[in-house]
Amino acid sequence: MVPLLNDLELTGRNSYLVVMRILVIEDDKETASYLIKALGEAGHVADQVNDGEAGYDMAMAEDYDVLVVDRMLPKRDGLSLIAELRAAEKQVPVLILSALGQVDDRVTGLRAGGDDYLAKPYAFSELLARVEVLGRRSTPKEAETVYSVADLELDRLSRKVRRAGTLIALQPREFRLLEYMMKNAGTVVTRTMLLEKVWDYHFDPQTNVIDVHMSRLRAKIDKGFERPLLHTVRGSGYVLRDDG
C-alpha cells in the first residue's frame, strides 16, 4: 500500500486517498471492465483476469492489497481459489462477489477464507467502500487499544470516549458503532456494512434504521464542537474524519 498523500491531506473525492492495488477476478467482461474503470476513477490501480487459474497465478505473483473474486469462475471456482491462496499462506484480503446472497452462502464463502462477501447485484459505492475497508486492514489497527481522530479519542479497553478531553457517555451499541467508524476512519462505510459489522444482521430492514442511529451518535460526539467529524456521504454511507 502506497500512501500518495499525507494521511491528513484530503483529495477531491473527500477521502484520504490511499492508492490500493486491486485484482478483479471476474469472468463477465463487461462487469469487469466497468469495475476496473470505476476503481481507477476512485484513485486505485486495478488489474483484471477472467478465470480462476489466471487469477491464482496473478494473485501469487503480484502483491495486491485486495482481491475481488467472483464466486463462480471458469477453470477454477472462486472459493477453491481462495482456499488455495490461504493454503499457500497468501494473506491478501479477499472480497467475494456472488449471486448467492443467503446467510448460509455467506458463511460458506467466509469459511473458505474470504474476508467479506457481497451479493449481486450491488451498488458500486458498496463495493468500493468494502474494498477500501478491506485494504485498510493491512495496517495493524486491530492491535491498537486507543483510536483517535482529531480530538476524539476512544479507549477500547476502558470503553471510554472523550472529545477534547470531555467524557462522552455512549450506549454499548453506540460505542461499537463509533469503534467501527474510528477503526475505519477516513474510509467510507455503507449502511449495509454497519448493519453487518455492528449489528450482525444480514437482512435488509425496510426502513433506514441506521440513519437514526447515526444522527444520535452525531449528536453525542459532534454537537457543540466546531468541527464535525461524522459525515454523511451522499449515495454511499458515512465517514468519520477530520476535515481540518
Partner 1 sequence: MAKGGFSRLLRTTGFRLTAIFLAVFAIFAAFLISYIARNTTEILQADIRRAVDAELAAMALQYERGGPSWLARVVELRSRQPGASLYLVIGPDGSKIAGNVETVPDEVLASTGADAEIVPYVWLDEEGSRQRYSALVRVVDLPDRMRILVGRDISESEQLVRVVRRSLILTVALMVALGLVAWLFVSRRVLKRIDSIAESSRRFAAGDLAGRLEVTGTGDEFDRLAESLNTMLNRIERLMLGLKQVSDNIAHDLKTPLTRLRSRAERVLAEGKSEPEYRAALSATIDEADQLIRTFNALLTIARVEAGSSDAAFSIFDAAAVARDVYELYEPLAEEAGVALRLDSDGPVMVRANRELISQALANLVDNAVKYASEGAAHPQAVISVCREGGRVTLNVSDNGVGIAEADRGRATERFVRLEESRSKPGAGLGLSLVSAVAKLHGGELILGDNRPGLAAALYVPEAAAGHAV
Query: What residues make contact with partner 1 under the rule CB under 8 A?
Result: 101-104, 107, 121, 123, 171, 173, 199, 201-207, 209, 212-213, 215-216
Output 5 or 103, the one with its CB closest to partner 1. 103
Output 21 or 202, the one with its CB closest to partner 1. 202
To partner 1, the closest distance from the beta carbon of 103 in angstroms equals 5
Output 162 or 202, the one with its CB closest to partner 1. 202
Residues 6+ apart with CB under 8 A from 200: none
The grid coordinates of residue 182 equal 474510528
To partner 1, the closest distance from the beta carbon of 138 in angstroms equals 30
To partner 1, the closest distance from the beta carbon of 207 in angstroms equals 6
To partner 1, the closest distance from the beta carbon of 173 in angstroms equals 6
Output 76 or 218, the one with its CB closest to partner 1. 218
Output 6 or 206, the one with its CB closest to partner 1. 206
Residues 6+ apart with CB under 8 A from 235: 125
To partner 1, the closest distance from the beta carbon of 166 in angstroms equals 23
Q: How many CB atoms lie within 10 A of CB 140?
A: 7
What is each CA distance from 193 to 92, 105, 151, 179, 190, in whole angstroms?
20, 17, 26, 14, 5
Output 156 or 216, the one with its CB closest to partner 1. 216
Burial zone of 222 (CB within 10 Å; 0-12 exposed, 13-18 middle, 19+ buried) = middle
To partner 1, the closest distance from the beta carbon of 195 in angstroms equals 9
| Closest of 44, 14, 227 to residue 131, by C-alpha | 44
